[in-house]
Structure 1
Amino acid sequence: MYKPAPPRPKQTSIVRGTTGCRTCRARRKKCDEQKPACTACVRLGRRCDGYATKLEFRSVSFPPTESRDHRTQESKSRIPPGYSLKLNRTIKPSKELFYMSIWENQCAPALHPVFHKLTHLQVLSPVIADTMLALAARQLSRSHPQTRELHPLDDLKSPFRPDLDQQCISGEFSSSAMRSVAQWTPSDIYRDSITALVVLTLFCCLESLTSNFQGFYLHSAAVGTLLDIQLGLSSQPSSYEHSIVAAWVQSKMHNWWRRFHFATATFQRDHPPLVTQPTLLRLSAVPDNRVSVLTILCESYRLSAAILMFYCDNALDVDLHGVGIPPNIRQGHSSRSCGFRGRQEEQLNHQRDALSDWYAQLPPSELPTDLFDPVHSSVTWQPAPLQIQPLRFRSHDAAMNFAYYVTARVLQCTEFLDNLESSNGQLEMNDTYNRPEPWIMNLLRIAAGINWDACVRLNSYTIGLSGLLLACILRSNNPALSSWVQDWLSKRFREGCLEEGSFPLFQIIQVLHIINVEKTLDRHVYAVCQAIDDGGGLGKFDSYNSQRIESIVVYGWCMGSNRFYSRHMVLGPMLPR
């Protein structure tokens, strides 16, 4: 009889991994597990299917029960009536429907109203669908933070990061959309300019969500080029196209606002106008309260900051020279400053008139439901905690639009610079601040009455309330106001909020802490800059802060020396949650 065959020795000692991307595992190839796409797939031009576990959905039947039937009926009710979507057959339909529900529930309510009914179109272009799904997955990733390990000395980085699996899925959808866009010809764009505008504007929103400023500038420039081409055509743009342009401008204002903070002094002083005249004409064709007030707000901030930074050109570094020096009136510089100031003030007057017109046309339903009197609103100078009476509105959008209006009023108050340049500016400064500080007080009232959860959900693609509070505190020398804002935002942060208005909350709190420390030294901070321009950072792909800011340069007025000063300051560690 034959004996049993001896066991065959292993041909190799290689142990196959189970964590590579699905494409490499199907090809039985080694994967370096790079994200969002591995090196092998990128090199071969293949589609990297990601690293998440692949789920296969099957139709199954269960015994009919009342509770299960109720849940089935409830799930069906989430699909919009008349839903007819041209699906991209490269993706499982169930997967598309899941992210389309995320679009309906999380993305669309926060975006410009022109995007609210895209899913109700009878025929939805696959490239638009892919872009919508990419934005939905990206939004989902940011609303589900994950913890990560940090080096003990790395205090300036958030211990949380977005959901990387959702980031990869967003990359899949956006890559599919970009491949379609890359195949466009000029005739395709001319034939269907609305699709091109929608896709490019949604890509602006996608890049803005992660503070990818370079990517945003690329897509925004493409929108501008397309609009210039349309101006040369004889056809009249439709009202829908005008609304898409309004959505693009809103995205531009949101992106600029976040880029403007923590930029260099040169960036803040020399930035060109934000909106061109042809774009303003398009906006006037379809009035939009939100976009109009955002444009006025950002232009007012740009102009007032340019005036302020021009005055701060010769600011004294208090760390090098101290504060016990005589006042410096800057002889020989006043003629230049007057000419520059006059040009900027002329443009600022146009924004003041535009803001007054905007308020005059505001319908009663958009006004506060509580008593609002900006002229007689006052705040005590006592160090005791402020008692803020909430200012409420009928809707979140109405509250935010009015917050933009109030902040624009604050930023348009530039008369205090004249008093600061005079020999007795210290004596007159409190009287001058009686004009903007009532408006600041009303912004605090809006913050006290607003639904913060709505701010987190609905301000992802527009300027957030936290950024407005920081801008206004930079125009106040009242320590009671800045202390209230710091405490209020710190409470929101400890409750679990990482960002609002796509702005990292803990960085705003760090800057507010520095402002309050300077106030205790009789130094009032009016501008916060970086010494070296970082281009807005590297984006928030794996974090909640785009910029790694270790130190800042503050500019303000020193009461002791009665002149402008600057100071380089190191940021403290991130607040514990």
Structure 2
Amino acid sequence: MTDFPGFSPLDEAVSQAARAFEPIEQEQPDQEADQEQPDQEVDQEQADQEQADQEQADQEQADQEQADYPASSRNETTTLNVPVQPDRRKTRTVGPDFLRDQPPTSILSSLSPATSTESASENLYLALWYSEVSALLPPVFLELTAVMPDFPPLGSAVLAISAAYLSHRESSVVVTTRGRKRVSRYIPHKDHQYQSLIYYNTGVQGLADSFSNLAQMNPVHMLATSVLFHHFELDSGSFTGGAGHMDGIDKLLSTEYHQLNSSRTGRELLCTTMSLRALHVHRRLVAGSRFSKPIHKADGFPLNKSIINGQAGSHYDSITILLCDCMYTERRIVLDWCACRVESLSPDIQPIMARILGQMCLPESRQASTNSQLKEIDESYGRSLEQQRAQLDEWHARLPLSELPIDSFTSRQQAMNGYEDSEPDFKMHPLKFHTFESAMNYAYYAASQILSSPYVLDRFEKPTMTTARSLPFTRRHYPWEKLILRIAAGLEFADCIHKNTFRTGIMTLLTLCLLWRPRPDVAVWIDNWIRRVQDHGVPLDSGLPFLTSRINPLITQQHRNGMDVFMLSPVDTEDAEKTDLYQSDFKAQVMVCGKDRHTGELYTCQLDVP
């Protein structure tokens, strides 16, 4: 790259990003240069019309080739490019406007010298950070990087996470048809993926050196870098790598918490870290069966109480912590009943279950407990669920009108009066919101209501209610489950593909709905919705979406066999690369806890994912 006077690297990044993200316009050939015809006047209007007709014919041919896929059921391999296009409706300008008035401050100056090709790539990733990637993260990261701090690991983290995002956006899906079976493999863009790993390795080494000289470092910059690297691992790497960064974050908070809490930026970053830590606890519960270290609820820091009470943080921070708290309590109840209170477990699952119970600080057996002791434990669970419902009510009461659903007064009145229709073809009336973020926050709220409902305990203590399965799927009978499906129906597919990269996506919540209401009509609707999303690209989110597309048939089959499923936990997936989890033939097993509807007995077993 050549630096011209008055033209900063950021300006070049802006220009390059504009060229990269805008539609490519074909240059018109210079007819006077290509062919000299002094004696003949060229009809320019006719030439333009012929070129337009040719372009239209080429486009129609390309569309026809796409429509003809797959050509047959013979053994064949086809590569489909499935780019995740940027959301042009809400794309911010590349970098804050005031950056242009600042002295040239480039991320490149803090990194090692690079060739012109590498510099061009870094400018592209930096521009992508300002235009798209930072919008997927809490606003504090854009504020911190408006003028890049003199902390090289943070610059490396920005480049790494932007390159990883572009690797997904320019990914492809290789589909192999073997007879009637269709096997798909997700392949990220290799060049961008390679670059992201280079930046990541450089930044991690620099961050490790910073921890050895902590007294001389800015804790805000170190925490921001650690959080970005944790996001990077969850998006592109393995769960184990993300867990390592969270350990570093906890170490930093143990010594620098008060200094971080003394500034506005530090407090905002702390709130973001608390919600991220809550999600990390949940991921360890569902994917970290090899970890034996006990996991406590995400309320280990006093700041969490302020976030939940609305005194600090965003609505997303507070509902994320509440959702993970509800998940923790519900999971603990299921394991207590299905593992600790049963007479014995199968020998092949005892070692795995022992580690899971150790994470939850649960005993391996409660056979020695008296009935009064068990009753006291369940009453404690009941009080926790009641407290969670009260906190959810307070969270909802604090929402401004701009974050509430956009729904007509008539439809609400019909639902309240019991006139809500239930169509034979199980159509969902879309529930719209002003922003995608508001819709997802409301979906988290609905999922939290499910996980904190009295039914969490009632399904163990009371006989199976078979009559409830024949009820129509209406708001009166299934208020929260239907709410989540309606929210999903109102989402834009492009948003579902790339806006949940660093958060729990809607697909995870749809699996929750099927777990709680394993109805055939719900299963069919969810399956059809997922297929429509995947037609637009490969959705990546931090909630292990492979659970949705592959676990749902397992839930449905268990239900057909008369077995209710209360909990699913992948076995030994924490070391798997993220790309492996998105392959349709990835071999995986799950730990299943549930109840036999015919006998009323609780069960725990290990099953292969179909």
Note closer, same or farther for the CA distance 1:496–1:185 as it changes in structure 2 (3 Å cut): closer
Alignment counterpart, residue 120 of structure 2, candidates 94, 114, 119: 94
Match of 2:550, as an amino acid?
Q
Q: Map residues 30-429 of structure 1 onto 2, 5 A cutoff.
A: 75=19, 78=94, 80-81=96-97, 82-83=99-100, 84-86=104-106, 87=108, 88=111, 90-91=113-114, 92=116, 93-121=119-147, 123=149, 125-146=151-172, 159-184=185-210, 188-189=214-215, 191-231=217-257, 237-261=262-286, 271-280=295-304, 283=307, 286-313=312-339, 334-371=371-408, 376=416, 384-415=424-455, 417-418=457-458, 420-422=460-462, 426=466
- The alpha-carbon deviation at position 151 of structure 1 amounts to 12
Q: SS of the counterpart of 1:159?
A: strand
Instruction: Indicate whether 1:443 and 2:502 are aligned.
Output: no
Q: Determine the structure 2 residue equivalent to 1:324.
A: none
Q: Is the 8 A contact 1:413 1:436 kept in 2?
A: no
Separation in structure 1 between the aligned mates of residue 175 and residue 398 of structure 2, nearest angstrom: 52
Equivalent residue for 2:503, pick from 462, 485, 504: 462
Q: Is 1:552 aligned to 2:552, yes or no?
A: no
Which of 537, 561, 576 in structure 1 is aligned with 2:575? 537
Give the TM-score, by structure 2 length.
0.70
TM-score (norm 1): 0.74
Query: Is the contact between residue 95 and residue 131 of structure 2 (CA under 8 Å) also seen in structure 1?
Result: no
Q: Is the 8 A contact 1:539 1:546 kept in 2?
A: no
1 CA distance for matches of 2:113 and 2:291?
48
Give the unaligned 5+ runs of structure 1: 1-56, 61-70, 321-329, 573-577
Number of the residue aligned with 1:526: 566
User: Per-residue displacement from partner, 1:285-310 (whole Å, max 9, x unpaired)?
Assistant: 53310010011011101101211222
Give distance in 1, aligned partners of 2:95 and 2:194: 25
What secondary structure sits across from 2:568 in the alignment? Answer: strand
Deviations 1:529-572 (A, max 9, x none): 34xx4162322266636994433343323222233334543332
CA shift digits 1:245-273 (9 cap, x unpaired):
122233334444444435669999x8421
Contact 1:133–1:173 (CA<8 Å) still a contact in 2? yes
User: Residue in 2 aligned with 1:43?
Assistant: none
> Is the 1:410–1:436 Cα contact (8 Å) retained in structure 2?
no
Name structure 2 gaps, 5 residues minimum: 5-14, 21-92, 348-366
Letter of the structure 2 residue corresponding to residue 483 of structure 1: V
Alpha-carbon contact 1:377-1:438 (below 8 Å) kept: no
Distance 1:483 1:165 in 2: 38
1:497 aligns with 2:537: yes
Q: Which residue of 2 aligns with 1:563?
A: 601
Residues 206/545 of structure 1: CA separation in 2 closer, same or farther (3 Å cut): farther
8 Å contact kept, 1:158–1:545: yes
Encode CA deviations 1:422-454: one digit per residue, 9 max, x unaligned: 3575567889x9987211101111011111211
Shift of 1:166: 1.5
Letter in 1 for 2:399: L
SS at match of 1:527: strand
The structure-2 alpha-carbon separation of the partners of 1:185 and 1:461, relative to structure 1 and needing over 3 Å to count, comes to closer
Per-residue Cα deviation, 1:147-192 (whole angstroms, up to 9, x for no partner):
5698989x99852222222222112212222232233266554551
Contact 1:114–1:244 (8 Å) recurs in 2:
yes
Shift of residue 101 of structure 1? 1.5
The change in CA–CA distance for 1:332 and 1:560 in structure 2 (over 3 A counts) is farther
Q: Which residue of 2 aligns with 1:27?
A: none
Query: Equivalents in 2 of 1:123, 1:105: separation in Å?
Result: 19
Cα offset for 1:506? 4.2
Deviation track 1:386-427 (CA, whole Å, cap 9, x = no partner) reads 121110001111111111111111111133633543357556
Contact 2:271 / 2:313 at 8 angstroms: preserved in 1? no
2:508 counterpart letter in structure 1: G
Per-residue CA shift, 1:288-342, capped at 9, x if unaligned?
100100110111011012112222226699999xxxxxxxxx9987444323222
Matched with 1:10 is none
Q: Secondary structure at the match of 2:433?
A: coil
Other structure's SS at 1:184 match: helix
Q: Alpha-carbon deviations, 1:216-275, whole Å to 9, x = none?
A: 222212222222212466x8521211111122233334444444435669999x842123
For residue 85 of structure 1, report the CA deviation from its aligned partner. 2.6
Distance 1:101 1:333, change over 3 A: farther
- Structure 1 pair 471–311 and aligned structure 2 pair: CA distance change class (3 A): same
Q: Deviations over 1:42-93 (max 9, x none)?
A: xxxxxxxxxxxxxxx5799xxxxxxxxxx99965984653244332352354
Tell me the SS of whatever aligns to 1:116: helix
Give the Cα–Cα distance (whole angstroms) in 1 for the partners of residues 283 and 183 of structure 2: 18
Asked if 1 retains the 8 angstrom alpha-carbon contact of 2:497 and 2:538, the reply is no
Q: How far off is 1:488 after superposition?
A: 1.6
Name the amino acid aligned to 2:388: Q
- Equivalent pairs, count: 491
CA drift of 1:210 comes to 2.5
Identity of aligned residues (%): 20
Q: Distance in 1 between matches of 2:531 and 2:292?
A: 29
**1:484 is aligned to 2:525:** yes
Cα pair distance change 1:570/1:541, threshold 3 Å: closer
Distance (Å, rounded) in 2 between the aligned partners of 1:377 and 1:402: 23
CA-CA distance at 1:477 after TM superposition = 4.2
Instruction: Kindly provide the amino acid, as one letter, of the partner of residue 429 in structure 2.
Output: Q
Partners in 2 of 1:296 and 1:339 — Cα distance? 24
Q: Secondary structure at the match of 1:261?
A: helix
Name the SS for the 2:564 alignment partner.
strand
**Residue 388 and residue 511 in structure 1: after superposition, are their counterparts in 2 closer, same or farther (change >3 A)?**
same
